[in-house]
Structure 1
Amino acid sequence: MNDRTHTPRQPGAASNEPLGRFFQLGPDLMCIVTQAGTFKAVNDAWLDILGYRPDELVGRSLLDYLHPDDHDATVALVRRMRDGERVRLFRNRYRSRAGEYRWCEWNAVMSANGEIFAAARDITDQEVVRDELEASVAHNRMLLREVQHRVKNNLSIVASMLAMDMSRLRDPDALRALGDARERVKTIADLYTLLHRKPSNDTIDLREYLSELVARVYRSMSSPADHVALQESFDPVGVDFDTAVCVGLITNELVTNAFKHAFPGSGGGTVRVEVARVADGRVRLSVSDNGVGLPDHTGPDNALSTGFQLVAALADQIGASVDVEHADGTRISVEFSG
């Protein structure tokens, strides 16, 4: 236990006795610094926290005990204080008598005569906890990226196995079913590829994800002889991973369906994919074409195809509404929270 009974009285610590007592009673580091940057007075908390007696510090430069990495920032702060800036929650490290550095969080003000009145709280324990948490988060992120990479590779293997099975089939219906399944697997694999490129996994940029997805579908479904153009318009929208999976699969189904069925006579046309922010923080995904259109009664509640049933199920999973318009071709809109 530190003995505080023999601490000498410091010159200039306080000119009146009540203020001096208050100065010494503070549990945090308190000090007065001269214009020359030397300690004029410090309280007994310096002994408790850093191990220095007040008489050891008076007359010494406040920079003598600083961590080297904090020197420039502290000097710059003192200069700004001379211009009238008041310090709040400034952090630096001071060396203790034992040789370790303690984190201090300062509030300070400069008086009219150029002296600095400052108080600091020892926040070393909080900094240690924060460093441990940051290290843990970094480790978990590394593990997550490794898992994502392995999932992506496994999905690619599944897609390759489906392609091998397709090469041995002759039945058109079986080929079509396996082809659709393979495209759905690749849609999810694309999302994991995007995740692996990102430094953070907080949100998925739909513009980047869907642009790559739609381009892949276009390459696989279209040929120059079809004369079908693809148009895109994507507002910047970020969503969580689960929503991105559903929106990606919905987009894959709708765009694939448009290329397959909207232009049966190969007379050409246009498929347009849009993502736009609408009212109340909602996001609208729209896939439209100017092809032959769907039967008037077709909608999410009476879908006959597996693809449309999947769209309805995925939309329900993210609380989205589905709207089908039949004028001048087909326009299917899926609106969800973004």
Structure 2
Amino acid sequence: ETAVLGAVRDITPRKKMELALRESEDKFRKLAEDAQVGVYLHQDGIFRYINPCFARMFGYKIDEIVGRLGPVDFCHPDDWPLVARKIEARYRDEEAKAHYNFRGVRKDGSVRIMEVYGSRTTFQQRPAIIGMIMDVTAEKERERKLQASLKEKEVLLQEIHHRVKNNMQIISSLLRLQARQANNPHFEQLIQVCQNRIRSMALIHEKFYETSDFTKIDFNDYARRLLSYLLAIYIKDEKQITLDIGIQDVFLDINKAIPCGLLINEIVSNSLKHAFPGGKRGTISLKMRRTNHQEVELIIADDGVGFPPKFDLHKITSLGLQLVKDLVRQLGGHFELIQRRGIEYRIYFQG
């Protein structure tokens, strides 16, 4: 008697998986084919897949590349060591993903700047590299032109600050010559005050000329140079006055730096002229920091003789102290005048 023995197995799950895989592959291929960036997959140094955009980017047809050419054929010789290291690192799992630029060579020999993103994958159960590539030559050229334009503007700004500083020095020299011709000690003193104010502004432009950052200047170096200049002008014995300067990371733009520099000039000049009569020894301190409220706190103090009795700040008539009030107002700030052992100005403004 003849019999047939067979086995039946339900392969529905497997068929569903195969169908899902085909659908996934179709979706990926559709997405890659329509992409406006180059999409590629290479294995063993040969491209196994590229999309139409990749082919157009390098001036080839797809069948001229797939299965025939590899990354080395599209890379400038000088950049190939970098590209080869990046590929090898991904094959060795030292680098999961890579993002870098290199010079690509088109079929006609022209060179373009390429930006590539790549990662390791599996193709036919073996390691491969999949990624995207874009021609960024135009973007890089725009960046280069922008950088060149910025450099030209930096040079121009430096030249402007340099010329302003020089013009201020010329004005100061003309005032000095005029003062000598007048042969009047009081007039000479007035001219010296004007020269100091000009010098305080010229130093700002000098600092901007010396720095590569035209948005702000470091006030620590500026204040030290200004106070050293004023000390040399007003004090003959360098041991008579001690300067105590402490400025903690205060940077100001030119709109704040010039009135602040003039403010320091007025207060310190006043101390040097009046606080230490008869060669009296003493200290002038200048402290500057940012508060927790992001205000700039400027404290200028001396331990000299102080203001005369019954002094009323609101009834002042001297140009120097009037300038102090006006400059603080220009900074959008406020100040306190404290008379202890000498005089102390506490000035606050947004900077």
TM-score, normalisation: structure 2 = 0.84
Which range moves more in the overlay, 222-231 or 271-280?
A: 222-231
Match of 1:40 among 31, 44, 48: 48
Greater Rg by CA: 2
CA distance in 1, matches of 2:109, 2:158: 39
Q: What is the SS of the residue equivalent to 1:148?
A: helix
| Residues 193-227 of structure 1: CA deviation (Å, up to 9, x unaligned) | 22222123122001111111111111111122872
Q: Decide which of 251, 263, 266 is 1:253's aligned counterpart.
A: 266
- Equivalent residue for 1:52, pick from 57, 60, 67: 60
SS in 1 for 2:280: coil
Q: 1:169 to 1:70 in 2, by over 3 A?
A: farther
Say if 1:219 and 1:28 are closer, same or farther in 2 by CA, change over 3 A: same
**Of 232-241 and 121-130, the range deviating more from structure 2:** 121-130
1:160 Cα deviation after fit = 0.9
Going from structure 1 to structure 2, the CA distance change for 1:123 and 1:306 (only over 3 Å counts) comes to same
Q: Is 2:190 aligned against 1:177?
A: yes
Quote the Cα distance in structure 1 between the aligned partners of 2:340 and 2:168: 38
In the TM superposition, residue 83 of structure 1 has moved relative to its aligned partner by 3.3
- In structure 2, do the counterparts of structure 1 residues 87 and 240 end up closer, same or farther at CA, with 3 Å as the change threshold? farther
Q: Secondary structure at the match of 1:135?
A: helix
Task: Give the partner amino acid of 2:42.
Answer: V
Residues 190-209 of structure 1: pairs in structure 2 closer than 5 A = 190-209=203-222
Whether the 8 Å contact between 1:89 and 1:105 is mirrored in structure 2 is: yes
Residues 44 and 54, structure 1, Cα contact 8 Å, conserved in 2: yes
Q: Is there any run of 5+ residues in structure 2 with no aligned partner, and where?
A: 1-22
Count of aligned pairs: 323
Are 1:137 and 2:147 counterparts?
no
Is the 8 Å Cα contact of residues 54 and 133 (structure 2) preserved in structure 1?
no
Map 1:1-338; keep pairs closer than 5 Å. Answer: 16-34=25-43, 36-58=44-66, 59-68=68-77, 70-81=79-90, 82-87=92-97, 89-111=99-121, 113-224=126-237, 227-295=240-308, 297-299=311-313, 301-338=314-351
Q: SS of 1:137's equivalent?
A: helix
**TM-superposition CA deviations, 1:302-337 (whole Å, max 9, x none):** 432211222222221221212111111100122122
Runs ≥4 in structure 1, deviation > 6 angstroms? none
Letter in 2 for 1:32: L
Structure 1 unpaired stretches of 5+: 1-13
- Which secondary structure state, in structure 2, belongs to the residue aligned with residue 160 of structure 1? helix
User: In 2, Cα distance between the equivalents of 1:226 and 1:328?
Assistant: 20
Distance 1:69 1:241 in 2: 46
Secondary structure of 1:85's counterpart equals coil
Given that 1:226 and 1:267 are in contact with CA atoms closer than 8 Å, whether structure 2 keeps it comes out as: no
Contact 1:47 1:53 survives alignment (8 Å): yes
Q: Is the 8 A contact 1:86 1:110 kept in 2?
A: yes
Change (3 A) 1:206 1:67: farther
* Secondary structure, counterpart of 1:279 in structure 2: coil
